[in-house]
Amino acid sequence: MLERLQADLKTSMLAKDAPRTQVLRMALAAYKNEAVAKGLGPQGVLADADALAVFKRLVKSREDSVAQFEKVGQADRAAQERAEIEMLRPYLPAMLEGPALEAAVRAAIAESGAKLKKDMGLVMKLLQATHGGAIDGKAASTLVQSHLA
């Protein structure tokens, strides 16, 4: 992941794509900060799961910012945040959506034997273990709640 990020940053710099370069520099800084926090040093290479977590946090942060900017009527700032999200998405795995997510939720409910909403934690834990970064927690949570009594 680090090599890909560095190569993409170099490409965007050579293409003089300032917005993309800025986002990729920020992502690289977040990656290196996480490596330092894990005790690997700034040149350390994160495990794929840790690198994925960094990118998910970056996207989540921007999604929250979009919601806040829209709430206060700053559509231009929200659009900028959306553009940054789209630049970061290629570093995330394909997310389960629609029927695929529905099937995964139904399978997790059946496997865990959950019947009540209080069992939601079991289902979510199983979904995360089975599908990891390919599950949008908020969407999955909503679906699980709709299937449990």
CATH number at residue 62: 1.10.1510.10
Residue 24 DSSP SS3? helix
Q: Are residues 9 and 66 in the same domain?
A: yes
134 shares a domain with 84: no
CATH number at residue 104: 1.10.10
| 8-state DSSP, 116 | S
Q: Give the position of tokens 């350390």.
A: 44
Quick one: pLDDT at residue 18? 93
Residue 137: which pLDDT band, with cuts at 50, 70 and 90? confident
- pLDDT at residue 105 greater than cutoff 90: no
| Average pLDDT across the chain, whole number | 86
pLDDT higher than 90, residue 140? no
The structural domain count of the chain equals: 2
**Higher pLDDT residue, 87 or 97?**
87
Percent with pLDDT over 70 in the chain:
99
- CA 128 vs CA 17, 47, 131, 135: distances in Å: 36, 17, 5, 7
pLDDT score for 42: 79
The pLDDT score that the predictor gives to residue 51 is 85
Per-residue pLDDT band for 106 (boundaries 50, 70, 90) equals confident
Tokens of 102: 């529905």
Q: What is the structure's pLDDT at 95?
A: 76
Statement to judge: residues 30 and 74 lie in one domain = yes
What digits encode the pLDDT tens for the residues 6-26? 899 999 999 999 999 999 999
CA dihedral 80, 17, 48, 111 (to 10 degrees): 40
Has residue 63 got a pLDDT over 80?
yes
7 and 73 together in one domain: yes
Where does 38-74 have alpha helices with state H? Answer: 48-71
Q: Look up residue 88 and give its two tokens.
A: 């970061």
pTM (predicted TM-score): 0.70
Instruction: For residue 29, give Cα distances in angstroms to 20, 33, 47, 94, 146.
Output: 14, 6, 16, 24, 39
Range of the domain at 105: 98-147
Does one domain contain both 73 and 6?
yes
Query: Residue 149: what pLDDT?
Result: 67
